[in-house]
Amino acid sequence: MPAPREEAEPASYGLVQLRGVPDGAAVDLDGRFWLTAERLDERWLAVPYGKHTLVVHARGSQPVEQRVEVKSGKTSVVRFGPFPHHAG
């Protein structure tokens, strides 16, 4: 008798959706460049499980930081904004 599918190895990542990130912004994951934003409100991104720090660098604005705890096989939505403008 085959083993039930539920006993398969659990996922080592979760899916994260980044909302409010302007197209063209640079996104860092845990202090390293990760991606350039493009229609992120419509995409789910695979991220290893655990606690992470996301920083969005939008043109003309100060960086905005959010923390997320990703759970294996689960989804998380992280909202960014507003983006404060640089002084000066």
Tens digit of each residue's pLDDT (9 = 90 or more) over 35-64 = 999 999 999 999 999 999 999 999 999 999
- 3-class SS of residue 4: coil
Residue 17, H or E segment: strand 13-19
pLDDT score recorded for residue 58: 96
- In contact, 19 and 51? CB cutoff 8 Å: no
Q: Encode 17-32: b = buried (16+ Cβ within 10 Å), e = exposed.
A: ebebbeeebbbbbeee
> Is residue 75 over pLDDT 90?
yes
> What is the rounded distance in angstroms from the CA atom of residue 11 to the CA atom of residue 51?
16
- In contact, 14 and 8? CB cutoff 8 Å: no
